Chains A and B, each alone.
Chain A
Amino acid sequence: MATKQVSWLIPAAVLSGNTSAEEMRLNMTQGVTDISASVYNLHMIIFYICCVIGIVVFGIMFWSIIHHRKSKGAKPANFHESTKVEILWTAIPFVILIAMAFPATKTLIEMEDTTDADLTVQVTGSQWKWHYRYFEHDLDYYSLLATPQSEIHNKIAKSANYLLEVDRPLVIPTGQKVRFLITSDDVIHSWWVPEFAIKKDANPGFINEAWTRVNEPGIYRGQCAELCGKDHGFMPIVVIAKEPAEFNKWMAEQTEIAKNAKAEEQKLLSMNMSMEELMTLGEKVYNANCAACHQQNGQGIPGVFPGLKDSAIALGDVKEHINIVVNGKAGTAMQAFGKQLALKDLAAIVTYERNAWGNNTGDVVQAAAINEFLVDK
């Protein structure tokens, strides 16, 4: 609510300077799949039909507006009923609609056919990030907005892909049928990539299906399309389509990295990090994962998200604190971060929250202490 800065008052000169390299688009994208091309064609057909009807109807109306005006001496005619005409202008639109329904039905049937997929990816939305899990591979990860807060708050210039960039994009192969299983951890989100003509709601407790077969390698950007709370505008989707050979290479690398990270984690259990290390790491991870709700200053948003500064959780029992960070709090927006973050990140967050903003408990929490609370890891 507070006024941040007044730069928005500075007129369009700034605006045009800001405009991204991407061209300004006026129409729906044709996309990069056969389906998205047929959707585009449907859109254009119905648009042209509307244009023709509009020109005819408005044409007749403006003809009488110009020629049948009293100031030109027009005398009103007497007719006010004609069953023939009424039947005619009921029947003609009806025929047009039936003609339109055929191609629409055909495309819809194709879109809903999710059988015989080559690859399956589970897409899970949560406030305010996406999680991707490859069913056929041992790989899953979260995908978060990569645009820094300083760009959003107009402190530095906005980059070309402002609000449409993530830390870890979804990667899929071209030319293969990829099936998406879409669900949510909390509220309803909607996974939308315009270039694939996929928009499917992520409903908590239910799984929706969608599919695509991308023809062109490239980077495709989308956004959450269903209002999902405060940061609904800040959970973009980025999908990179790679040639199958490159995709396989990428997948091999990633699964290797994920395996190593897990092994690394086990080693951590016997190691101790210094307070300084934990605080530095903690601030970074906190700002990326916690600050959206609890705010960078730890004061939360009164009545919506509780503050952590001088709070019972951050100053109270350490075990209680770790538990809520790792396992979340049912029935609230507090997520279970145990499955989202690495052990040392979690340790750093708890340490940071207990010592930042004048909390100064002096408590140092290590990865081993976190591990005790991880039920299924």
Chain B
Amino acid sequence: MSTTNSNADNHAEEHHGAPSGIMRWLLTTNHKDIGSLYLLFSLLMFFIGGAMAMVIRAELFQPGLQIVEPDFFNQMTTVHGLIMVFGAVMPAFVGLANWMVPMMIGAPDMALPRMNNWSFWILPFAFLILLMSLFMEGGGPNFGWTFYAPLSTTYSNDSTALFVFSVHIMGISSIMGAINVIVTIFNLRAPGMTFMKMPLFVWTWLITAFLLIAVMPVLAGAVTMVLTDKYFATSFFDAAGGGDPVMFQHIFWFFGHPEVYIMILPAFGIISQIVPTFSRKKLFGYSSMVYATASIALLSFLVWAHHMFTTGMPLAGELFFMYCTMLISVPTGVKIFNWVATMWRGSLTFEVPMMFSIAFIVLFTIGGFSGLMLAITPADFQYHDTYFVVAHFHYVLVTGAIFSIMAGAYYWLPKWTGNMFDEKLAKTHFWLSLVSVNVLFFPMHFVGLAGMPRRIPDYALQFADFNAVISIGGFAFGLSQLLFVAVVYKCIKGGEKATAQVWEGAEGLEWEVPSPAPYHTFETPPTIK
């Protein structure tokens, strides 16, 4: 970054800078470099996955088949889901953790820097394999990101093997990333930084990392069984050989539901950092926030079958999973109430990170409400596999997870680059995103309730008007995100110099180091009051 030491081998020189050129990025073990790599990679994936969403929305703009064939449509919905979950949202959070966790706990770097390099650099290969499979004869994976057997086994095309290996690599990357976060937080906290003094972003990531370690191997098991069922004549999911296709769903969702929280807990952490800063008031109920996060994580292991109410579960099972799912809304509610209480009688200003955070609180809560509705089993029979569900998880993941990532990016961008971003452009990005995302996802509630199933390339005529509106919202939201790229690019290139604290009211170790954060921070641990 700043000074390039021509004499890199000379270790007597302690404060050497980064090596230059491509090798800097390939060989880096610096948490800030790796954090940047993760973030840029996830931004790229966000646009690739987004382009696929544009194909989907273009086909659904009008009834009838216009642009793509149904089989390719299914490949688009499948790969869009996989890319957004594993390529955009998860790496973005890992990137934020890489950048911020060591700086927030006063550590010099991640605990396992070489593994850190590896967990990033296998990711591009995973997604290269996945994306290349789209160009195979017969096309890429077309069975939905949930890859239910036997559609993904007996009835799938030959790209399935590539899909399986790609998911394996993503899983290895996630597990290594999670181990790194846990080891770092357990061992590298500055003296005096007790657990209950850690910033909430660190806490939520610690809990997320445990979730990752718990469930990524389950996903690996699921894809491996799909692989052997398809190519090696096993019958895990084939009734004719003594297996059970519904067992696949149990295994998948035992991974899949905690996975949902993997994508939202770090978001809670980010919002819990931002709201106090711009309210100029301490976070309300810090310890209850920690406990709520932990209870959400524990409950997430007890609710997986609410994705499967229509598979024909016994009544007792349906009741158990309905009650547990309803229960999750309690700790989630506590979080929302705490944020609102933090804002209450604060001294609020509305910089871009705060705007995204407020939008997060409102829109994520709407996603939470539809989640509570989905928990009611009898009503779920009507909602299940319709656009109501599509609306629900996009509110949680786009206006939830992705809005929080945007909020975090705007919040820490001046710390990363040393420059303030173009506030006017960023506000335009916010308002365009806010309006278009609701035009995009809100009407999905209506078409879903009116009876439009998800994952269909063509639909009955009564859904036509809403689908046209949804598509227009989709194109607008997609285009608006180009503004984000512009803001980030301009901010890296230059701008008004940022102070160390950046935001009036920001508290924490990361705001005590200069902006931009030096290549090495906290080589001597800070003292915590």
Contact = CB atoms under 8 A, between A and B. Distances in A.
Query: Do A and B interact with each other, yes or no?
Result: yes
Interface of A: 1-8, 12, 14-16, 18-20, 22-29, 35, 38-39, 42-43, 46-47, 50, 53-54, 57-58, 60-61, 64-65, 68-71, 74-82, 85-86, 89-90, 93-94, 97, 100-101, 104-105, 107-109, 111-112, 127, 151-154, 158, 160-164, 182, 186-188, 190, 192, 194, 197-201, 203-206, 208-209, 222-234, 301-304, 331-333
Which of B67, B326, B381 is the most central at the interface, judged by chain A CB atoms within 10 Å of its CB? Answer: B381
Given A20-B460, A60-B344, A227-B143, A303 B373 contact: no
Contact of A75 (B327, B347, B458): B347
A308 B461 CA distance: 34
B346 A28 contact: no
Interface stretch (B215-223, B332-340, B413-421): B332-340
Contacts of A27: 446, 449-450
A236 B460 CA distance: 10
A5 to B, nearest CB: 7
Contact of B137 (A19, A198, A303): A303
B461 A97 contact: no
Interface in B440-484: 446, 449-451, 453, 455-462, 464-466, 468
B270 to A, nearest CB: 18
A77 B136 contact: no
A134 B137 CA distance: 42
Contacts of A164: 460
B330 A26 contact: no
B311 interface: yes
Given A80-B285, A200-B312, A205 B245 contact: yes
B462 A22 contact: yes
17 contacts: A8-B66, A42-B376, A68-B279, A70-B348, A70-B349, A85-B341, A89-B334, A97-B330, A107-B378, A163-B458, A199-B382, A199-B385, A209-B312, A232-B74, A302-B137, A303-B136, A333-B155
A39 B138 contact: no
A120 to B, nearest CB: 16
Nearest to B159: A303
Contact of A29 (B157, B349, B376, B451): B451
A54 B366 contact: yes
Nearest to B280: A76
B150 A187 contact: yes
Interface stretch (B82-90, B190-198, B316-324): B316-324
A20 B315 CA distance: 39
Contact of A19 (B64, B139, B446, B461): B461
Interface in B216-243: 238-240
A111 B381 CA distance: 10
A161 B451 contact: no
A58 B157 CA distance: 48
Given A105-B319, A153-B65, 9 more contacts: A12-B468, A15-B62, A80-B285, A80-B342, A188-B150, A205-B245, A224-B453, A302-B137, A303-B136
B241 to A, nearest CB: 10
B347 A303 contact: no
B286 interface: yes
B314 to A, nearest CB: 8
A148 to B, nearest CB: 12
Nearest to B69: A1
B476 to A, nearest CB: 15
Given A61-B361, A104-B322, A187 B155 contact: yes
Interface string B134-169: 001111001110001011001101100000000000
Contact of B382 (A39, A71, A75): A39
A152 B369 CA distance: 36
Interface of B: 58, 61-72, 74, 136-139, 142-144, 148, 150-151, 154-155, 157-158, 238-240, 244-246, 279-288, 310-312, 315, 318-319, 322-323, 326-327, 329-330, 333-334, 336-337, 340-350, 358, 361-362, 365-366, 369, 372-373, 376-379, 381-382, 384-386, 446, 449-451, 453, 455-462, 464-466, 468
Contacts of B65: 4, 152-154
A225 B239 contact: no
Closest A-B pairs by Cβ, 3 of them? A303-B138, A205-B239, A233-B456
Given A8-B62, A16-B465, A46-B376, A54 B365 contact: yes
B462 A24 contact: yes
A39 B148 CA distance: 28
A223 B150 CA distance: 20
A334 to B, nearest CB: 11
Given A64-B344, A197-B381, A303-B137, A158 B155 contact: no
Contacts of A94: 330
A79 B284 contact: yes
Nearest to A164: B460
Given A25-B449, A70-B349, A333-B155, A80 B281 contact: yes
Given A19-B465, A20-B460, A68-B348, A43 B379 contact: yes
A203 B246 contact: yes
A43 B148 CA distance: 28
Given A107-B378, A225-B385, A231-B70, A93 B315 contact: no
Contact of B456 (A93, A112, A232): A232
Contacts of B460: 20, 161-164
Contacts of B311: 201, 203, 208
Contacts of A24: 450, 462, 465-466
Given A3-B67, A7-B66, A227-B151, A68 B373 contact: no
A188 B151 contact: yes
Nearest to A5: B66
A25 B463 CA distance: 8
A23 B148 CA distance: 35
Contacts of A2: 69
B308 to A, nearest CB: 8
Nearest to A83: B288
A206 B63 contact: no
A19 B310 contact: no
Nearest to B68: A1
A239 to B, nearest CB: 14
Nearest to A58: B362
A86 B461 contact: no
Contacts of B462: 19-20, 22-25
A97 B319 contact: no
B315 A192 contact: no
A206 B347 CA distance: 61
B310 A93 contact: no
Contact of A8 (B61, B143, B281): B61
A209 B312 CA distance: 8
Contacts of A28: 379, 382, 449-450
Given A15-B464, A303-B157, A74 B378 contact: no
B442 to A, nearest CB: 11
B280 A70 contact: yes
A71 to B, nearest CB: 7
Nearest to A105: B319
A233 B386 CA distance: 12
Contact of A197 (B288, B327, B373, B378): B378
Contact of A332 (B144, B154, B446): B154
Contacts of B376: 42-43, 46, 100, 104
B310 A190 contact: yes
Given A1-B68, A25-B462, A97-B330, A303 B468 contact: no
Contacts of B343: 61, 64-65, 68
Contacts of B64: 8, 151-154, 158
B450 A50 contact: no
Nearest to B311: A201
B154 A194 contact: no
B340 A93 contact: no
A18 B63 contact: yes
Contact of B284 (A80, A201, A224, A331): A80
A50 B369 contact: yes
A189 B415 CA distance: 51
